[in-house]
Amino acid sequence: MQGRLPAWAQDSLLAVFVTVMQVQGTVVRATGQPEVVLRPLADLGYLGYALLVASGAVVVVRRRWPVAVFAVTALASLVYYALDFPDGPGWLGLFVATYTLTALGDGRRSLVIAGTGITALAACWLVAATDIEPPAAIGWVYFRIGASVMSAALGESVRSRKVIAAEALARAEEEARARVDAERLRIAREVHDTVAHAIAVINVQSGVTAHVLDKRPDRARVALEAIERTSSRALHEMRAILGVLRDGDGDRVPFPGLGQLDELAAKAREAGLDVDLSSVSPPPPVPSAVGSAVYRILQESITNVIRHVGPTRVTVALDYGAETLEVRVTNEGPAAAGRHEPGRGILGMRERCQLLGGDLDAGPLPDGGFAVTARLPLAPAG
């Protein structure tokens, strides 16, 4: 962040501030209340000053060695009050070190270290204050204990918030990756359905063209025109599907749904199928995801018939219920039962249904032929 001091500069300024406050504050308080002073700061070779300076200066490396800084400040406070040096703000460095220990620590281990240190300090402070005069000065001992506990709690609170924020960010990134993967999978399904259907139709029509090219040129022309229309529609649909990968909005069209079922049936008839589409016209409004799933299921079913059975009769029935839309695609032909093995097409249709909270059945009929039945809730779950 621009305009913000680096961490080492912040800690250097903090160490200077704490050191000055500890020394100056203690000197002022000792001068103002001489009756409380048990041992001058200059006693024992200026040891009192040295302890105050050491516990303040060590704050400069609090981020790098938080445990060591806590240990130094705790030991300095222990020696300071055990030798009956005057009370004052000599605990600032300890409070900063305690906060840093729990804020930058790993949770439980840091709390155990802080709790053990505060307990030991509290016992030593209370023992050192047994003969304190005046007796009212004992309140500062309880203040040090309470402030130490609050420093540890504040640091743990900050650490917990950072952990929660990091976990939330990780979850958001994971969800974003999942959405990207789901979009890629959806595009792959759309591309598969579009290309597979177009290639199946073109394959049939090209076979017809090769067969009748010399004998019936007019029929060959019709087949070539069907190939042209099928390839043009496939290219147009591919552009619409892959348009989501472009930066701009482009010339996108809505994904096919119930309104394009008649067009799909017409293309199937051009490929040689006898399609009987039983549906309400115009279709009632349904969620776009449901309509798109119905279109893709019918497209995949027709593609399978073209690929595995050839010219035959296909019956498509749509049953609009109060809560469920059922689509049933059946085809005739004794050879159909042995050729519709579960493949990627049927698995893809089943996955579409399951993503919306529905189900799909696909299998041979007792009297020959094959049936695909999909049930989709009108309030899709996915």
Contact call for residues 296 and 195 (beta carbons, < 8 A): no
Contact call for residues 214 and 192 (beta carbons, < 8 A): no
DSSP one-letter code for 90:
T
Mean pLDDT of the chain: 79
Q: Two tokens at 347?
A: 């698995």
Other CB atoms within 10 Å distance of the CB of residue 136: 9
**Is 0.85 surpassed by the pTM of this model?**
no
Residues above pLDDT 90, as percent of the chain: 15
Contact call for residues 340 and 308 (beta carbons, < 8 A): yes
pLDDT digits (tens, 9 = 90+) for 187-238: 667 666 666 666 766 666 676 666 666 676 667 667 677 776 766 666 666 6
pLDDT digits (tens, 9 = 90+) for 12-30: 999 899 999 988 888 887 7
* Distance, CA of 92 to CA of 377 (rounded, Å): 65
Q: What does the domain layout of the chain look like in residue ranges?
A: 7-173, 257-382
* Those residues with Cβ within 8 angstroms of residue 217's Cβ, 6 or more apart along the chain or in another chain: none
Q: Two tokens at 204?
A: 């049939």
| Residue 378: half-sphere exposure toward Cβ, Cα within 13 Å | 11
Q: Choose the CATH number for 257-382 among 3.40.50.300, 3.30.565.10, 3.90.1280.10, 2.60.120.590.
A: 3.30.565.10
* Distance, CA of 148 to CA of 100 (rounded, Å): 12
Q: Looking at this protein, which amino acid is placed at residue 139?
A: G
* Distance, CA of 299 to CA of 268 (rounded, Å): 9
Contact call for residues 260 and 246 (beta carbons, < 8 A): no
Other CB atoms within 10 Å distance of the CB of residue 148: 26
